[in-house]
Structure 1
Amino acid sequence: MTSQDWFNKDFYATLGVPKDASQADIKKAYRKLARELHPDRHPNDAAAERRFKEVGEAYGVVSDAEQRKQYDAIRAMGGGARFQAGGGGAGGAQGFEDVFGGLFGGGGATRGQGFEDILGGLFGGGRARGPQKGADLAAATEVSFREAAQGATVTLGIDGQRVSTRLPVGVTDGQKIRLRGKGRAGANGGPAGDIILTIHVGKHPVFTVDGRNLRINLPVSFDEAVLGATVEVPTLAGERVKVKIAPGTSSGATLRVKGKGLVAKEGAGDLLVRVEVAVPSKVSKAAKEALQAFALATAADDPRARLYDDAAR
């Protein structure tokens, strides 16, 4: 939702992108800045922390299509835009009330409203006598894969306040979390608005998330795949579990380790282990001779026989 101090904040400059930047470019710029300014890289650096929070606030607004539209419109009003007579069929000069009515759906109804009434509708205040809920605020933060998988506490600086919240276990990239009552104060005894927090999760070199399950690729040697073996697999918790590779296992086969995925209220997910048969780039003379002997012994077993038969149908 909108915020009155949008008049004075240039979120595009904060992110270092032009006003007509695409969403992809905005996201790329945010991720770069978030990594550079992350508190873990600048411990006890108040300036870096403040900049990190400003970047998160800026991205939280301009990454949302509706909020970006409203922000651009409000910035245009605050930037001293002038409206001349003779536009369209109106036949006369347009005031703030007419412009805001056209932007936000007020139409002819705005002729009975003052500028304060229109802004009141945008910001949750206005002249209404009854209780009015405060405006929602947008924010964004980036966490590591492990923090997202195991849960973490993040601290935000937004709209002049410091807010800490515990992220749920297994939060996913792009997920939005509503922090109720942490937004703008209400008017006339109304409740405070919320903070809509967008989470961005960093990548892990080994694990990926699939719902409550974790996925991992497991390299196995050629002889382990052919003859079968029991091998160890790392888990996100830092332990190792043993899995059995059945004789004749092919690349792409998936093994399931129960209960070693993400732990959430609904229960623990599983660890899904995808087998990848590793082909050595260098082979010794003895190994090459052994493979040649193996090839002769299995010459009658053509792995592409079914492929040819199916293709002829």
Structure 2
Amino acid sequence: MDALKNHYDTLGVARDASADEIRKAYRRLARKYHPDVSKEADAQSRMRDINEAHEVLGDATRRAEYDALAERIRQGRATGGTGAGFAPPPGWDDGFSFFRQASGDAGAGTMPPDLEDIFSGLFGDAAAAGRRPGRQAGEDRHSAIEIPLEFALSGGEWELQLRTLERDARGLPQPVTRTLQVRVPPGVRPGQQIRLAGQGLPGIGGAPAGDLYLDVRIAPHPLYRVEGRDLAMDLPVTPSEAALGAEVEVPLPGGGTGQVRVPPGARTGMKLRLKGRGLGGDLYLVLAIAAPPADSSAARAAYEQLARATAGFDPRKDLGVHSRQAAPSA
């Protein structure tokens, strides 16, 4: 795709990949390159590219716009009548929606024809034609902010760099990089918005600027899943802990550990709740029974003894079959 980032290559999917394939590829790569768990030297930069690709391809509207622009570039239709070529600058699709940050040197106050519709939608037809427009309030803009789960729990000041457009002395849009300090409230959840007044597109003729709305996203975490206001975590337990009950230690979101009581007779999928340990909600521990391997004579003997003691137990009786094998002889 020439100067346009190839988000399909970043996620390792075909251009006709389904939404489910894109989602699975993102999750697989996030588990591999998340800085909290990855040992790859370039994990942080790779994760940034992976998140950016998923932000575009994971949204049907943005993906369609991205594909349309990529096709334009491939066909050579993103060049102007003045002969000035169009090549998106490095990182042009960071921050705001990727199509909102294209720029080109259009010479003496003109602009490549195929880009006029893009810029007129941002700054009005007068800007696209190189004329000075009248007074007009700046448009609001939307972007995304992705933060670690730990930061979402505690809140604080988050530094954010965005590439956007501002007018030059001729009234034409030019790409700039802004560094903003964003106040993130504790317990913020995915899908919530943070409003930054006056940080949208600038007004025209002295009119006020629009606002910037940041859609909150939380980076994938190796342990916890975000489920609205709650968090969930898989908690492995041994068969004896599940059958007899036990006190087990668990890691807590934000740091530290706690003790939780596994009740006797626990089953895989049972949920234990720790109140107040979520994003304004609770932490749910989903039990998963993990069987020890029979990799020693003592472990094998213990399994054989268990098989004899539970010879009457058939875990598949509700399936209409009886596949329980006889217990080993003493």
Distance 1:57 1:220 in 2: 37
Question: Contact 1:261 / 1:270 at 8 angstroms: preserved in 2?
Answer: yes
Structure label with greater radius of gyration: 1
Residue of structure 1 in register with 2:184 after alignment:
167
Partner of 2:138: 134
Tell me the amino acid that sits aligned with residue 251 of structure 1: T
How far apart are the structure 2 equivalents of 1:224 and 1:198?
A: 42
Question: Could you tell me which residue of structure 1 aligns to residue 201 of structure 2?
Answer: 184
Quote the offset at 1:207 in angstroms: 1.1
Equivalent residue number for residue 147 of structure 1: 151
Whether the 8 Å CA contact 1:150–1:170 is kept in 2: the answer is no
Aligned length, in residue pairs: 250
Residue 114 of structure 1 aligns with which residue?
none
**3-state secondary structure, aligned to 1:292:** helix
CA RMSD of aligned residues (A): 5.0
Residues 58 and 280 of structure 1, relative CA distance in 2, 3 Å threshold:
closer
List aligned pairs for 1:63-74, cutoff 5 A.
64=62
Within 5 Å, give how 1:281-296 maps onto structure 2.
Answer: 281-296=293-308
Q: Which moved more, 1:243-252 or 1:161-170?
A: 161-170
Cα distance in 2 between the residues matched to 1:178 and 1:205: 29
Q: Which amino acid aligns with 1:80?
A: G
Matches within 5 A, 1:13-28: 13=3, 15=5
Change (3 A) 1:17 1:290: closer
SS of 1:224's equivalent in the other structure is: helix
| 1:185–1:191 contact (8 Å) kept in structure 2 | yes
Does structure 1 conserve the Cα–Cα contact (< 8 Å) formed by 2:4 and 2:70?
no
Larger deviation: 161-170 or 250-259? 161-170
SS where residue 320 of structure 2 aligns?
A: helix
Q: 1:226: Cα distance to partner?
A: 1.1
Query: Paired residue for 2:259?
Result: 242
Counterpart among 286, 289, 296 of residue 274 in structure 1: 286
Q: 1:193 is aligned with what amino acid?
A: G
CA pair 224-72 structure 1, distance change in 2 beyond 3 A:
closer
Partner SS, residue 242 of structure 2? helix
Percent of matched pairs sharing the same residue = 33
Q: Which consecutive residues of structure 1, in runs of 5 or more, have no partner in the other structure?
A: 1-10, 37-47, 83-95, 105-117, 263-267
| Deviations 1:146-179 (CA, angstroms, capped at 9, x unpaired) | 223433413224334322212343342x766543
More helix by share: 1
Structure 1 residues 12 and 207, CA gap change in structure 2 (3 angstroms): farther
TM-score relative to the length of structure 2 = 0.57
Residues 186 and 165 (structure 1), Cα distance of their counterparts in 2 relative to 1, 3 Å cut: same
Q: Deviations over 1:196-237 (max 9, x none)?
A: 445553322111111111111111111111111121221113
TM-superposed CA distance for 1:122, in Å, is 4.0
Cα distance in structure 1, aligned partners of 2:317 and 2:306:
19
Letter of the 1:280 partner, please give it: P
Deviation string, structure 1 residues 8-61 (Cα, Å, up to 9, x no partner): xxx97263569x967959x97xx99xx89xxxxxxxxxxx99xx9999999988
Secondary structure class of the residue paired with 1:148: helix
